[in-house]
Amino acid sequence: MTTARNVEAASAARRELSVPPRWSWLLRRREILVTAVIVIVVAGSTAAHPYFWASTNLAFIFADSVVIAFLALGESFVMIGRGIDLSVGAIMGLSAIFVGFRIQNDGMTLLPAVLLGAGVGIVLGLGNAILVGVIRLPPIIATLGTLSVYSGLEFVITNGNQVDTIPNSFTNLGSDTVVPGVPIILLLTLPFVLIAAWVLRYTAFGRSIYAVGDDAEAAYRAGISVQRVLFSTYVISGLFAGLGGVAYLIYTSGADSTTGINDNLTAIAAAIIGGTALTGGVGGAFGALVGSVFLTVTLTAMSFAHVSDVWQPAGVGVLVLLAVVYDSRARAAGGGRLGARRQRRRQLRRRAGSTGQPTGATGQSAGSTGQPTGATGQPAGGGAS
C-alpha cells in the first residue's frame, strides 16, 4: 500500500514538474542559449565595425578565450562537485613560469612543455585535493589559503626575473590560422574539451561528480566514495590550470610574478555564464568553453564600441549577475542556504510520505541534529509552505 501511495504521489509530482513548450529545451540548454547570444553580439559588432570580422581579430579573441577556457574547464569539474577552487589562476601562473623558463633557457619543444605544464598543475592541484579531500577543510578557505601560498611562490620562484622570449614556434600557434579566424591553438584545445565532456557525461566517475554535487549524502548512501571524487576534481582542476599556463605562454609570449593572480574570478565567471551552478550538480565542459568565448567576445565588442577599458570588469560583473538572475536554480528561497529546488524536492518527499527516515547523522552535518525518529515519523522541519 505504501508502494501505491508512492506511485500516486510520484505521478502527481511529475504532473506538477512537467515542462510545457516544446521549443523551451533550446533555452534550457545554457550552451545553446549563450552561443546564440555570441552570434548576436558578433553580428552586431561586425555591422558596426567591419574589422571585428577580420581573421586576426577573431583569432585573437579565440586565443584569449582558450586561456580562460582551460581554467573554466577545471573549475567546472570542481563546481559541479559543489566545491570552488580560488587558486586556479595562481596555478596557471606558476605553470606558465615553470614552463616558460624551461622554454626560454633550455629550448623545450611543445609536447614536453605541455606535459611539464600538466605535471606542475597536477602537483599543485594535489595540494588543494589533500586539503579538501583528505583533511576536509571547507573548499573556499582551503583554496583561498593555497591562492596566497601559490601566488607568493610565483614571486619567490621568479625572483624578479620574467619570461619574455618565447620562440615563434610557440607564439605562432596563437596567431596562425587554419581556417580564417580559427587559430591552431583552438584546434589543439578542442580535444581537451571533448575529453572533459566525455568524462563528465559518459563515465561512471563523471556521473558520480554530479551525484556528489547534487546531494553528497545521497551519493554517499548510494555507495560513491565522496571524498575520493572530491579529491580527484581538485587534481583535475589543477591539471587544466597547468595546461592553461602553457596556453597563456602561447597567447601572451611571456609571464611574470603576477601572472594569473586576477584570473581566478574570471574563470569562475566564465563557468557560471556557461551554465555551471555554484550549488553543484549542473554544468558541463562545453558550457565552460562557450562561457569563456562569450566573455572574451563581449569584452572585445565593448572596446570596439569605444567603451573605456576601465569598464571591462564591470562588464564581467554585470554578465555574471545576469547569468545568475536568469538561472532560477541558483536562487535560494528566503535568502537561506536551501536552494529552491532542494526545498521542492523536500516537499515532494514529504508528500510522498517517505518511509526511510533520514537519520541526519553524517560526519559533516552536525547542524542537522534533531528529528529523533519517533513513531510519528514527521520530519521536524515539516512546517509551513
Partner 1 sequence: MTPTTTITTGTTLELPRRWRVPGWGACLLVAIIAECAYFTLTTRQFAGGGEGMLNLTEQFAPTGILALGLAMVILTGNIDLSCAANASLAAVIAGTVLSKGGSPAVAILAAVAVATFVGLFNGVIVAFVGIDSLLVTLATQFIITSVATSVAGASPPFGFPSSFTLLGQSGIDYIPIALLIFLVIALAVIVTIGYTGLGRSLTLIGYNPRAARYSGIAIRRSLTSVFTLCGALSGVAGVLLAAYYNSAQPDIGTDLLLPGITAVILGGMDIFGGRGRIGEVVLAVFVLGYMSQGMLIEGDSSLSITMITGLVLIGALVVKFAFERNFRQRMSARMLRLRTPWNRTPLPRDADG
Instruction: Match 509552505 to its residue by C-alpha cell.
Output: 385
A 10 A CB-CB count for 149 gives: 14
Position 91: which residue type? I
| Residue closer to partner 1 (CB basis): 187 or 307 | 307
| Residue closer to partner 1 (CB basis): 59 or 288 | 288
Nearest-angstrom CA–CA distance, 88 and 131: 15
Handedness of CA 248, 252, 257, 261 (dihedral sign): negative
* Residue 315 beta carbon to partner 1: minimum distance, rounded to whole angstroms: 8
* Residue 33 beta carbon to partner 1: minimum distance, rounded to whole angstroms: 18
Alpha-carbon separation of residue 11 from 17, 20, 260, 348 (angstroms): 10, 16, 51, 11
| Residue closer to partner 1 (CB basis): 112 or 138 | 138
| Residue closer to partner 1 (CB basis): 148 or 203 | 148
Alpha-carbon separation of residue 151 from 66, 164, 363, 380 (angstroms): 22, 19, 33, 47
The torsion of the CA quartet 172, 173, 177, 181, rounded to 10 degrees, works out to: -110
| Residue closer to partner 1 (CB basis): 74 or 93 | 93
Task: Locate 135 and state its grid cell.
Answer: 583533511
Which residues of this chain interact with partner 1, rule CB under 8 A?
2, 84, 131, 135-138, 140-142, 144-149, 151-156, 257, 265, 268-269, 272, 278-279, 308, 310-318, 320-321, 324-325, 330-338, 340, 355, 359, 361-363, 366-367, 369, 372-375, 381, 383-384
Task: Locate 158 and state its grid cell.
Answer: 621568479
* Residue 370 beta carbon to partner 1: minimum distance, rounded to whole angstroms: 9
| Residue closer to partner 1 (CB basis): 151 or 189 | 151
- Residue 177, φ and ψ in degrees, nearest 5: -115, 145
| Residue closer to partner 1 (CB basis): 241 or 269 | 269
Nearest-angstrom CA–CA distance, 363 and 219: 14
* Residue 362 beta carbon to partner 1: minimum distance, rounded to whole angstroms: 8
* Residue 192 beta carbon to partner 1: minimum distance, rounded to whole angstroms: 26
* Residue 384 beta carbon to partner 1: minimum distance, rounded to whole angstroms: 8
Nearest-angstrom CA–CA distance, 229 and 287: 21
For residue 189, give the 3-state DSSP assignment.
helix
* Residue 382 beta carbon to partner 1: minimum distance, rounded to whole angstroms: 10
CB 183 within 8 A of CB 63: yes
Q: Which three-class secondary structure string do you get for 234-258?
A: HHHHHHHHHHHHHHHHHHHCCECCC
Radius of gyration of the chain (CA): 23
* Residue 321 beta carbon to partner 1: minimum distance, rounded to whole angstroms: 4
DSSP conformational letter for 384: -
* Residue 270 beta carbon to partner 1: minimum distance, rounded to whole angstroms: 12
- Residue 109, φ and ψ in degrees, nearest 5: -95, 180
Nearest-angstrom CA–CA distance, 45 and 50: 8
| Residue closer to partner 1 (CB basis): 169 or 225 | 225
| Residue closer to partner 1 (CB basis): 46 or 354 | 354
